[in-house]
A and B are shown apart, each in its own frame.
Chain A
């Protein structure tokens, strides 16, 4: 049976220059409601999911994800179309909705629980588990007003309450993107636990690793419309392939148009990942090849090239140089192979220098390539950011040394 059905739903917002109309255009708009600009947050969105489905909702900022969640959780009404939701819904659009800063942690558990739709008895019976899940620090300050909590404690308490909701349909918006790594691990673990039950989950996230591991279906929204809807693997594949940011090749036919200076010009530069047959985007496990061809006008010069790989933060991750050799003027070609399972997921850029006599920089081609490497994990229960700039899979030998009975 279809547990959630969305039929050609549209949501339009009226745009006026100021939301609360002044008496001038207020009176005008009062008498003719035609002349307003409208903004379509959602247009003709249709999909349906079955009981037990876990739906991931992905898309860029402004694609309409949050609007869709608000409509599904009845916070706002669609302008067009119909929605059928069959079952008890709990929606978590933020952590700790309705927490009152003056109230203690204990009082806020009851307040927030009631707001999220739990009865007083349900909260009472789960109270100890909630406090336990939130951690020892919360237990210690249970009777302190939450305005004295650190933001981490605030989030932990909020999530602990939501984790103990028991709805048939759970609507979650990005709440996992908060808290320290330890707590994220705990909360994603809880999500996975919930996902293993016969619950229906609708989950908006930018964390594609989490979507990939938690959701069997995915809805990709773009500009308020359904771009793709279907099995998670296929949708993520096309989404990543379209959205991976790349500046991967340059080629110049003649010397005069090419970037460089009077003696060194770029002929051709290309970075080429060896993708998996089943995955259309560049992941941490793929090896890649960089080719770099340039014109040199120098005769019998001792040249080499030096390649810098930077993280998006600007930090240089590594630098490698070629051997120094004597080259005549003409086109010089270089090729570098970089293995898979080496760079971690993230955004990178590469600069290439042409160097004379091992020390004199003839030209530095800055930001020659920009590329993104996507996360790849199998059979994992940890979806947080994998730390570090590199992710080598050096074998670790681990054995049991002694056994104690």
Chain B
């Protein structure tokens, strides 16, 4: 596993140029260009602001600006969901490369998160503007956010590699991925917080099975001043679970890598 990571690093020029390709191509021939990276999360936020105004019960828990809770959740979730989908589709999207040239295949998977990463950074700027607008303090905790992003990336790459590796032979997986994302949105605290769940006996399993729960909560902890989140032990559980997923992903990928081209 270390060996395959080293191979990727050795070919970092290729990694960056593939990432640059995806980013350059993303907003080609659009009028609004990179602004779409702003519009999409904001639009999602407005849907839920509107929905929750109609259902007051859901928005009653907040000590913090409701919009910031929503936006931070959407930001992190979008990054996870988009990068996970990009990684799982990357092999098929780049099948023309895989069948014609050899290079470490992991590079394709790694480089495919670039677009989502850029979207996340732009979304973060929007988030900071929202903070200023609501006159909510921004603390130095935000400096930990990059670390959280790295952990999220490990998780989304891991999960993407697992599903992506199987999707080459079993295209059924491609049908499952959007369902996973759709369900995930509602079983993760994207548009709600976990306050009311903390005391439930099954909460620990919830954290283990769905590392994104802890990752969203930790993100809010570093982004929102005074946000009450999961404790250190719960965070370590989340972390372990995310890394485990990454390791399993790479292992499965390495095992199946050689047969990819025969099924394309």
Binding site for B on A (CB under 8 A): 13, 19-20, 70, 73-77, 89, 91, 93-94, 97-98, 100, 102-103, 107, 110-111, 114-117, 119-120, 145
Contacts and interface: CB of A to CB of B under 8 A. Distances in A.
Interface stretch (B21-29, B43-51, B72-80, B149-157): B21-29
Interface in B64-102: 96-102
Contact of A77 (B17, B96, B258): B258
Interface residues of B, number: 26
A304 to B, nearest CB: 59
Given A73-B101, A91-B101, A110-B17, 8 more contacts: A19-B263, A20-B169, A73-B102, A75-B101, A91-B102, A93-B101, A103-B21, A107-B21
A73 B97 CA distance: 13
Contact of A97 (B14, B17, B97): B97
B101 A98 contact: yes
B96 A97 contact: yes
Given A13-B262, A75-B261, A103-B24, A114 B102 contact: no
A110 B103 CA distance: 16
Contacts of A13: 262
Contacts of B136: none
Nearest to B14: A114
A111 B13 CA distance: 10
Contacts of A119: 13
A75 B257 CA distance: 10
Contacts of B228: none
A60 B167 CA distance: 34
Binding site secondary structure of chain B: helix
The 10 A-B pairs of least Cβ separation, nearest first, read A74-B102, A114-B17, A77-B258, A114-B14, A97-B100, A76-B261, A102-B28, A120-B13, A102-B25, A93-B100
B170 interface: yes
Nearest to A73: B102
24 contacts: A13-B262, A19-B263, A20-B169, A20-B171, A70-B261, A73-B101, A74-B102, A77-B258, A89-B102, A97-B100, A98-B97, A98-B100, A100-B21, A102-B25, A102-B28, A107-B21, A110-B17, A111-B18, A111-B21, A115-B97, A115-B101, A115-B103, A117-B103, A120-B13
B24 A107 contact: yes
Contacts of A70: 261
A265 B21 CA distance: 71
Contacts of B97: 97-98, 115
Nearest to A120: B13
Nearest to B258: A77
Nearest to A145: B28
Contacts of A110: 17
Contacts of B171: 20
B45 to A, nearest CB: 30
A97 B170 contact: no
Contact of B170 (A20, A73, A89, A117): A20
A110 B16 CA distance: 11
A75 B24 contact: no
B134 to A, nearest CB: 39
B37 to A, nearest CB: 18
B101 A116 contact: yes
A76 B25 CA distance: 29
A145 B24 CA distance: 12
Interface string B1-32: 00000000000011001100100110011000
A75 B258 CA distance: 8
Contacts of A116: 101
Nearest to A98: B97
Contact of A98 (B96, B259, B263): B96
A71 to B, nearest CB: 10
A120 B28 CA distance: 24
Contacts of A120: 13, 17
A100 B21 CA distance: 8
Nearest to B259: A77
